[in-house]
């Protein structure tokens, strides 16, 4: 087998550090978040709540233009529920462990870009940025932790191994 192809191998994140792992807590916490948030995207309440983020985002505004407020929310909901499914299957299949974690990381990376595009993030009464508003600023800030959890799972799912010639 090619040494370069053998450099990376996929594994279930929880198996990277033993049978009792903090990665299991991260995985199942992310599953709960994606199931809950994903299901909420099918309600008018949530669709209207996320509309300002979507409309002002250079990355996601096309969803609103193409599908409207509720349609964009449906698309995001399907993606979030798909991420939850990949994370669940990833507890048993290495490729899905990496896929679910990558999907999760991409989600939170995109939502953190809302800091740059959503009006009202910087709180004028607090002197502007770095003073952030409760909504949407502090609401978005939680995604820093969720991104970190996603990246931890992703890194634990993609293990690097030394080529056979370098093993001792």
Quote the mean pLDDT of the chain.
87
Report the percentage of the chain scoring pLDDT > 90: 62
Dist CA 16 CA 134 (whole Å)? 38
Residue 129: is its pLDDT beyond 90?
no
Dist CA 123 CA 120 (whole Å)? 7
Residue 134: is its pLDDT beyond 80?
no
pLDDT at 161: 56
Residue 161 tokens, joined = 């191994």
Dist CA 11 CA 94 (whole Å)? 4
Residue 168: is its pLDDT beyond 50?
no
Burial level of 151, CB count in 10 A (0-12/13-18/19+)?
middle
pLDDT, tens digit (0-9, with 9 covering 90-100), for 56-83? 999 999 999 999 999 999 999 999 999 9
Which of 31-35, 113-117, 156-160 tops mean pLDDT? 31-35
Burial level of 53, CB count in 10 A (0-12/13-18/19+)?
buried
pLDDT, tens digit (0-9, with 9 covering 90-100), for 80-112? 999 999 999 999 999 999 999 999 999 999 999
State the average pLDDT over residues 138-150. Answer: 92
State the average pLDDT over residues 111-140. Answer: 81
pLDDT at 166: 44
Residue 19 confidence class, pLDDT cut points 50, 70, 90: low
């Amino acid at each position: 087998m090619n040494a370069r192809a053998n450099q990376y191998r996929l594994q279930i994140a929880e198996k990277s550090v033993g049978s009792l792992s903090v990665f299991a807590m991260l995985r199942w916490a992310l599953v709960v978040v994606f199931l809950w948030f994903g299901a909420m995207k099918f309600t008018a309440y949530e669709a209207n709540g996320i509309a300002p983020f979507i409309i002002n985002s250079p990355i996601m505004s096309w969803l609103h233009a193409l599908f409207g407020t509720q349609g964009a929310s449906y698309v995001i909901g399907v993606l979030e529920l798909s991420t939850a499914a990949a994370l669940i299957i990833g507890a048993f299949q290495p490729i899905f462990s990496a896929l679910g974690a990558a999907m999760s990381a991409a989600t939170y990376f995109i939502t953190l870009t809302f800091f740059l595009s959503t009006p009202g993030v910087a709180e004028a009464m607090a002197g502007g940025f770095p003073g952030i508003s409760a909504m949407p600023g502090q609401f978005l800030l939680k995604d820093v932790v969720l991104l970190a959890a996603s990246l931890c799972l992703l890194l634990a799912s993609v293990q690097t191994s030394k080529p056979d010639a370098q093993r001792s």
